[in-house]
Structure 1
C-alpha cells in the first residue's frame, strides 16, 4: 500500500494512519521513506500539543466537547504546518531509514519529487499509447513498479570501496572464503587481520631478493616449523614499550598456503579455541586474539575491530 504524500496535510492521526505509516516505512522506496518520516514528525508534534493541552486546566466556561474537538483539529493543523516547514526530526529520521535500507539519504529526500515526475510521465505515456507494446512506459519497470523513475545510480546500497580495499579483497577473498569454511570464522575477519598485518598489502614480509614471502598474518617460525623462513625486523611491545627486533617468520609459496596455515594455527592451537568460538562477532574475535597473545601491540584488538567494522563492513 502506497501512502499519498498529500495526506501529511490531511491531518488524520488515528490507528489506521499509524498502521499505514508502519507499512510505508517498511517499503524500500525513497518516496515511502520520505513520506513516513514527515508523517512521523507530524504525529510527534501532535502528541506534544496534545500533552500541552492535557496539562492546561479545563474549567473554562467555554470548555465543551465541541470546543475540544475543534481545538484538536486546530492542533492537528498546527502539527502539519510545523512538520511541513521542517523541524529537523523528519530529516534525521530519513537519514536513519535510508542507512537501514541501504539507500542514499539524498536520494530519499529527492524521492518524492522524482516519483511524482515519473507518475506524470506515466500518465502522459498511457494516454498516447495503446498498450500493445511490450516496452514498459517511462518511470516503470516491466513489473509495473515506479522505482525506475529514479535516475540510474541514484540509490546505492553502499558507498564505493576505496581502490586499495577493493584490490585487496578481490585478490584474497577466495582464499579467505576457503579458510572460513574450515574454521567457521567469517572471511572478512581474516581479511581484516591480513590487512592490519600487511598494511593492505603494502608492507608484506619480503624475502631478501624482494619477492613476497606470502606471509599475510605475521606468523613467526617457531622451533616446530619445518618450512621456509625469512628474517625481518619487527616491532614488539615489552610491558607496553615498543622495541625493534630481528625475528624469523614463516614463508609460503602462495597466499593460499598462508591462509591455510593461518586456519590450521587457529584450529589446532588450544590457546585460540576461544577465538574460534567468538568467530561470529568482530569485537569478540579481535579481543580474543589479543588475549590469546597473537600480538604484543596493546592496541591490536581495537585496530583490527576498526578495520573489520569500517573498511570491510560493506
Structure 2
C-alpha cells in the first residue's frame, strides 16, 4: 500500500489517526475496511462497558470514591479499554464485519486427499503390516512362531501382565521392541489382554487401534526432551488431566476437509500407564457406553467408538478393522496366545 497506510488510533485521544481514517474511507480498500471495523468494535465495546457501569451504579451510592473526579478518570479508562479491545480483536466483531464487507478476505481450509488423513505425525506407510523392517514371512506360521520365540522369551514375556501387582509402574525408562509389526503385537498384547478384560472387550482391537494411532510404534509422540510419551492411543489432554502433556500438530477432519490443528496430548511413564489411562478414559466417559455394550465383538466396538466421536477420520474404524482382521495379524496373535 506504500504511503496509503491508515494510521490506527492507539488511544481514544488520537484524533489524527481518526481523521486519516475518515479520509481513507473514500478509497474503500481492504486495510481501510479493517480499520473501520476495528473502530466500530471499539464503539460497541464502549457501549457494553458503559452499560455495565450503569448497572452497578446503585452499589456505588454509599462509596467514598463516588465523586465527579473519580467518574471522570474511570470514564477515561473505560474508553481506552474499549480501544484496546478492538485493537486485539477480543470480541471478534471486527472480524465478522470484515468477512461481511470483503468476502475475499476469508481464508478457507485447503482440501486434503482422503488417503493422507492420518494420526498425529504419522506416515501412511507405517499403517501397513508389510513394512520394510518386517523380514518375517507371514505366510509360514511355523517359521513365524519359531522366529518370535526368542523375542517373546527375552522381551515380550517380561512385560506380560498377569495381575496389577505384576506391573512395574515406575518403569519410566521401559524398553520396548517396536522394530516390526510382529514384535509390536507381541509386546503390547499382554497389556491389551489386561485392559480388555477390565473393559469387557476383545484385546485384539486395542492392539490394532494402537497400531493405527502410532504407525506400529514408529510414530509414538515424543516429549520436548525427545523421550517417548508412551501415548499409544493419542488421547488428548483436557481440563481434568493432571499429568504431563506435549503439544503436537494433528490432522483433524472438519466437514469432510482435513485441517491441521495443534493440541495437547497426554504423557505417560510407561506402557502400563498408557493402557490403564485408556481403560479409565473409555469406561468413565458416558458417550462410549454404547461401544462397551458390544462386548467382545471387536468390529462393532470400534464402529461405535468412532460413532461416539473418538476420532474425526471418517475411515477410522475401517482402517482398524482392516488391520485386525488380516490373516497376518491373526497369525501373530494366535502364535503369542499359544506361547502364553
* TM-score after normalising by structure 2: 0.45
Higher RCO (CA 8 Å, separation ≥ 6 residues): 2
State TM-score, norm by structure 1.
0.48
